[in-house]
């Protein structure tokens, strides 16, 4: 992979220089298919973009709509094709698309067929072609005639259940355009319902349409019937097709490589009408398999329960894959066979990293262990530990360590335990212990995922704070004072995600929505009030002589992926979060507050260096403590372009900031005001490169400040010593102050 990366970087200039020689590898008597277009006339219902998939030959892949990047890489070859460099160029590049008249003729026929399928019969397709410098520019012009409509539709089926299903809520309606795609969807709809009602042998291909266009011009009468050959089938086969089947037994084979008929019979466990076949050690408890498999003995065969069983069983961490099949077991009975393959149960990970921040060097290391079948019920245990050590310029040493234990049950209940230790010699020593229980479910064909944080307890303990840190940052008027005192957080919350993405339609635009609500301290506050407990000197109730936080917090995030084609997409994102302290607290705990800037926010700023509002930091390396808030708004626009191999490029612009709910003396100009907040939206733009390996995305983004609200003079908002709040190239850009690099894993949104 490293060789490929070096190759890509060194070829960028060469590709530009050779882009004018696009016909380098085109035979002398041939032409390069340089551009193909589709134009549609006289139709609002058929889009040219939808017809391009019917073309049998298209021009080479283009980046940014004009740059044939892959072809340029291919053309960089020189000399022996057996050399390593030439082999790599062939792998990364794309050979020239040589114009073929036969494929052009086939494309015309396919376009006519596509128009017929959409109800536009008698449409015509012609081509216009221009040739210049051995390059062919080809345009297919589709002239759509007036579409045919459905005048009359009838269902001619004798089987009562089939006739009822086909006649109710049909997708085919009189007056619609005669679209074969809709007709096929209707056949699939009928088949799915039949197979959900026990008709195991019913197939979509058994249904046919008979069309008649003799009664009226451009109108069709349509009948839905069974295939003609059904009349010639033996009665036994026809009876089988229209018989509702029930499940007799469910047979689990937990070693899919072992046949049930193997002469060396595996171990067998029988539990009523459930049979479990083992070979060697047991993979999962019988109760777990019975619960996750939605197919039950004695119930009618149902295709939906088969799909749900695949989903539930494949979700088990101890399972690699699942195969479900059925065999006849007598009159109207089926045996269900579930083959379960074992996944890798144990997994160990390790990582080492080096850091350099504000002149301080550091090193960190971490280890992790996963057991995907702890109690033979596919319970997943994860244990992670990480430690870091930092050498500071003033001679001190900072130490940080944290550990986490998580246990996920097949019932979707998760238990988390965590502990964190921080020692900063010039500042403080802090420990954070947390424990929580959560539950999640998926609904509506996995479009919705709901997560319930049933309880989450955090205990923050600071045994020591330096005098310098206390005097400088923890004055009575500073809101951070409460964040650096011992405190409890007992909260619960709910979050949900929704996505319209479908893996079967990867080039279809989609959106995703995420939202969450969280609240803390309400139950404790109610109990404290009920028993009239004594408050401390700060007017707070305490538990075990430690004050507890009370607040409400809500977040919502929306992302839309507008996909133009497999190479280009525009991604729009908006996120809003609000946290409000009340009751037993006058400020949100530091670890629950919002921060702006960073790789997933406004990328012209480093993380925790923006806001709140028009607040301007002092430049001290720990001033980020003041740059936190109770309200956060992010607005992002990103154009993503796939280049070559796994390399992608992005052009982006971001806007956003954070604000405080109340006016805190230590954060001047940080309070949210409806009359001011839009003037305090920071704005940046930039470019990014990504390596997308499907399972992992490595990202580097380069962000530049365009509008910095902290540079506004609040006595005169439109003037400042920096030449105005708008920073342009004419005003001068500073690498230190205006440009930021980000390295991250995964897309920003």
Give mean pLDDT, residues 365-389.
94
Length of the chain equals 749
Give me the pLDDT at residue 279, please.
Answer: 78
What is the Cα Rg of the chain in Å?
33
SS3 (DSSP) at 506: coil
Is the predicted pLDDT of residue 434 greater than 70, yes or no?
yes
Is the predicted pLDDT of residue 4 greater than 70, yes or no?
no
Give me the pLDDT at residue 66, please.
Answer: 79
Do residues 215 and 221 lie in contact, with contact meaning Cβ atoms separated by under 8 Å?
Answer: yes
Give residue 724's pLDDT band: very low, low, confident or very high (50, 70, 90).
very low
Give me the pLDDT at residue 227, please.
Answer: 94
Do residues 706 and 604 lie in contact, with contact meaning Cβ atoms separated by under 8 Å?
Answer: yes
SS3 (DSSP) at 14: helix
Give me the pLDDT at residue 631, please.
Answer: 96
Q: Report percent pLDDT > 70 for the chain.
A: 89
Give residue 63's pLDDT band: very low, low, confident or very high (50, 70, 90).
confident
Give me the pLDDT at residue 87, please.
Answer: 81
Give residue 734's pLDDT band: very low, low, confident or very high (50, 70, 90).
low
Give mean pLDDT, residues 250-273.
71
Give residue 520's pLDDT band: very low, low, confident or very high (50, 70, 90).
very high
4: its two tokens? 């490929």
Is the predicted pLDDT of residue 356 greater than 70, yes or no?
no
Is the predicted pLDDT of residue 554 greater than 60, yes or no?
yes
pLDDT per residue as tens digits for the range 387-429: 999 887 777 888 999 999 999 999 899 999 999 999 988 788 9
Is the predicted pLDDT of residue 260 greater than 80, yes or no?
no
Side-by-side strand order, sheet with 319-328: 267-271, 274-278, 246-253, 333-342, 319-328
Backbone angles phi, psi at 3, to 5 degrees: -60, -40
CB atoms within 10 A of CB 81: 10
Which helix or strand (DSSP H or E) is residue 551 part of? Answer: strand 551-563
SS3 (DSSP) at 748: coil
* Nearby residues of 739 by Cβ (< 8 Å), 6 or more positions away: 604, 702, 703, 704, 705, 733
Most confident segment among 335-339, 347-351, 359-363, 692-696: 335-339
* Nearby residues of 276 by Cβ (< 8 Å), 6 or more positions away: 252, 254, 268, 269, 270, 286, 289
In angstroms, what CA-CA distances link 33 with 19, 104, 700? 15, 10, 35
Give mean pLDDT, residues 305-334.
93
Is the predicted pLDDT of residue 249 greater than 80, yes or no?
yes
- Average pLDDT of the chain to the nearest whole number: 86
Give me the pLDDT at residue 730, please.
Answer: 39
Looking only at the bridges linking them, the beta strands covering 333-342 and 246-253 are parallel
Q: From CA 629, how far away is CA 555, in angstroms rounded?
A: 14
**DSSP line for 649-716:** EEEEEEEEEEEBSS--TTSTT-B--TTTGGGG-EEEEEEEEEEE-SS-EEEEEEEEEEE-GGG-BTTB
Q: From CA 642, how far away is CA 232, in angstroms rounded?
A: 55
Least Cα distance to 144 among 110, 127, 113, 121 occurs for 121
Do residues 74 and 23 lie in contact, with contact meaning Cβ atoms separated by under 8 Å?
Answer: no
Of 36-50, 212-226, 449-463, 685-699, the one with minimum mean pLDDT is 36-50
Least Cα distance to 419 among 397, 452, 386, 390 occurs for 386
pLDDT per residue as tens digits for the range 443-499: 767 789 999 999 999 998 989 888 888 877 777 666 667 777 888 899 999 999 999
* DSSP letter (8 states) at residue 623: G
Give residue 259's pLDDT band: very low, low, confident or very high (50, 70, 90).
very low
104: its two tokens? 């052009």
**DSSP line for 243-258:** ---EEEEEEEES-TTS
Give residue 374's pLDDT band: very low, low, confident or very high (50, 70, 90).
very high
In angstroms, what CA-CA distances link 137 with 31, 458, 533? 10, 66, 84
Give me the pLDDT at residue 371, please.
Answer: 96
Of 95-104, 253-262, 668-677, the one with minimum mean pLDDT is 253-262
pLDDT per residue as tens digits for the range 147-194: 999 999 999 999 999 999 999 999 999 999 999 999 999 999 999 999
Note the Cα 555 to chain centre separation in Å. 18
The beta-strand segments (E) located in 5-105 are 32-41
Query: Helices 160-167 and 180-196 meet at what angle, rounded to 10?
Result: 130
Is the predicted pLDDT of residue 732 greater than 50, yes or no?
no
**Domains observed in the chain:** 2-143 (3.10.20.310), 149-241 (3.10.20.310), 246-342 (3.10.20.310), 594-749 (no CATH)
* Nearby residues of 547 by Cβ (< 8 Å), 6 or more positions away: 485, 486, 487, 488, 536, 538, 540, 541, 584, 585
Give me the pLDDT at residue 726, please.
Answer: 44
**Dihedral sign (CA 105, 109, 115, 121):** positive
**DSSP line for 332-371:** TEEEEEEEEEEPP-EEEEEEEEEEEETTEEEEEEEEEEEE
Give me the pLDDT at residue 562, please.
Answer: 93
Give me the pLDDT at residue 471, please.
Answer: 79
Compare 614 and 638 and report the one with higher pLDDT: 638
* Nearby residues of 638 by Cβ (< 8 Å), 6 or more positions away: 570, 571, 573, 650, 651, 652, 748, 749
Least Cα distance to 418 among 460, 453, 448 occurs for 460
pTM: 0.76
* Nearby residues of 263 by Cβ (< 8 Å), 6 or more positions away: none
Least Cα distance to 570 among 620, 514, 639 occurs for 639
Looking only at the bridges linking them, the beta strands covering 346-357 and 360-371 are antiparallel
Q: From CA 202, how far away is CA 561, in angstroms rounded?
A: 38
Which helix or strand (DSSP H or E) is residue 104 part of? Answer: helix 101-117
Give me the pLDDT at residue 721, please.
Answer: 33
Cα of first residue to Cα of last residue in the chain, in angstroms, is 26
Q: From CA 424, how far away is CA 430, in angstroms rounded?
A: 9
Give me the pLDDT at residue 18, please.
Answer: 47
**Dihedral sign (CA 590, 591, 595, 597):** positive
How many angstroms separate the most distant Cα atoms in the chain?
96
Give mean pLDDT, residues 586-614.
88
Give mean pLDDT, residues 691-696.
84
Give mean pLDDT, residues 719-736.
43
**DSSP line for 382-421:** EEEEEEEEEE-TTS-EEEEEEEEEEEE-TTSEEEEEEEEE
Of 61-75, 261-275, 436-450, 708-722, the one with minimum mean pLDDT is 708-722
Is the predicted pLDDT of residue 13 greater than 60, yes or no?
no
Helices (H), 263-324: 286-292, 303-315
Which helix or strand (DSSP H or E) is residue 191 part of? Answer: helix 180-196
**DSSP line for 258-272:** S-TT-SSPPEEEEET
Give me the pLDDT at residue 263, please.
Answer: 39
**Dihedral sign (CA 576, 581, 586, 587):** negative
Give mean pLDDT, residues 692-709.
87
């Amino acid at each position: 992979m490293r060789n490929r990366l070096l190759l890509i970087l060194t070829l960028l200039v060469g590709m530009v220089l050779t882009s004018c020689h696009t016909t380098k590898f085109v035979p002398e008597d041939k032409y390069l298919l340089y551009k193909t277009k589709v134009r549609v006339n006289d139709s609002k219902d058929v889009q040219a973009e939808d017809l391009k998939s019917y073309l049998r030959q298209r021009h080479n892949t283009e980046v940014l709509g004009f740059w044939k990047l892959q072809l340029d890489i291919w053309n960089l070859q020189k000399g022996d094709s057996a050399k390593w460099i030439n082999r790599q160029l062939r792998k990364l590049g794309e050979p020239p698309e040589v114009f073929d008249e036969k494929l052009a003729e086939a494309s015309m026929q396919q376009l006519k067929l596509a128009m017929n399928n959409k109800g536009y019969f008698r449409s015509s397709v012609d081509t216009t072609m221009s040739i210049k410098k051995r390059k062919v520019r080809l345009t297919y012009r589709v002239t759509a005639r007036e579409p045919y409509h459905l005048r009359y539709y009838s269902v001619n089926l004798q089987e009562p259940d089939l006739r009822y299903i086909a006649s109710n809520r049909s997708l085919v309606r009189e007056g619609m355009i005669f679209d074969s795609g809709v007709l096929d969807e209707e056949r699939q709809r009928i088949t799915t319902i039949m197979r959900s009602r026990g008709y195991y042998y019913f197939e979509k291909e058994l249904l046919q349409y008979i069309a008649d266009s003799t009664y009226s011009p451009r109108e069709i009468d349509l009948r839905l019937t069974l295939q003609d050959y059904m009349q010639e089938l033996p009665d036994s086969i026809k009876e089988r097709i229209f018989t509702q089947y029930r499940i007799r037994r469910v047979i689990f084979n937990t070693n899919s490589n072992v046949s049930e008929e193997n002469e060396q019979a595996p171990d067998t466990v029988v539990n009523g009408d459930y049979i479990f076949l083992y070979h060697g050690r047991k993979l999962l408890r019988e109760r777990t398999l019975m619960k996750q498999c939605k197919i039950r003995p004695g119930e009618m065969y149902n295709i939906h329960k088969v799909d749900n069983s695949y989903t539930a069983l494949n979700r088990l961490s101890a399972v690699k894959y699942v195969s479900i099949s059925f065999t006849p077991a007598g009159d109207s009975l089926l045996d269900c066979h579930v083959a379960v393959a074992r996944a890798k149960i144990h997994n160990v990970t390790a990582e080492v990293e080096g850091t350099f921040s504000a002149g301080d060097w550091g090193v960190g290391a971490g280890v992790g262990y996963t057991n995907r079948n702890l109690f033979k019920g596919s319970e997943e245990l994860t244990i992670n530990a990480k430690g870091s050590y930092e050498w500071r310029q003033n001679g001190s040493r900072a130490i940080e360590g944290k550990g986490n234990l998580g246990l996920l049950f097949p019932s979707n209940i998760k238990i988390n335990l965590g502990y964190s230790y921080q020692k900063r010699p010039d500042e403080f020593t802090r420990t954070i212990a947390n424990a929580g229980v959560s539950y999640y479910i998926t609904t509506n064909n996995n479009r919705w995922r709901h997560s319930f944080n049933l309880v989450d307890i955090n205990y923050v303990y600071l045994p020591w704070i330096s005098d310098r840190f206390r005097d400088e940052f923890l004055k009575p008027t500073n809101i951070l004072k409460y964040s650096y005192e011992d405190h409890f957080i007992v909260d619960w919350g709910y979050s949900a995600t929704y996505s319209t993405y479908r893996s079967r339609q990867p080039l279809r635009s989609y959106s995703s929505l995420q939202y969450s609500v969280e609240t803390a301290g309400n139950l404790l506050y109610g109990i404290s009030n009920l028993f009239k407990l004594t408050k401390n000197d700060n007017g707070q109730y305490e538990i075990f002589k430690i004050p507890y936080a009370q607040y409400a917090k809500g977040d919502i995030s929306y992302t839309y992926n507008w996909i133009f084609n497999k190479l280009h997409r525009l991604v729009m994102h908006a996120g809003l979060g609000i946290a409000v302290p009340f009751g037993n607290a006058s400020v949100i705990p530091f670890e629950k507050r919002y921060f702006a800037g960073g790789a997933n926010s406004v990328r012209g700023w480093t993380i925790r260096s923006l806001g709140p509002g028009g607040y301007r930091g002092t430049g001290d390396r720990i001033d980020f403590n003041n740059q936190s808030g109770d309200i956060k708004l992010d607005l992002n626009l990103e154009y993503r372009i796939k280049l070559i191999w796994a390399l992608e490029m992005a052009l982006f612009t971001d806007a956003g900031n954070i604000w405080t709910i109340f006016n805190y003396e230590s954060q001047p100009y940080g309070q949210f005001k409806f009359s001011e907040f839009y003037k305090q939206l920071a704005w940046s733009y930039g470019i990014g490169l990504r390596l997308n390996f499907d399972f992992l995305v490595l990202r580097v983004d380069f962000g530049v400040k365009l509008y910095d609200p902290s540079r506004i003079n609040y006595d005169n908002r439109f003037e400042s010593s920096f030449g105005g709040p708008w920073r342009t190239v004419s005003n001068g850009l500073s690498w230190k102050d205006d440009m930021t690099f980000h390295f991250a894993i995964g897309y920003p949104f």
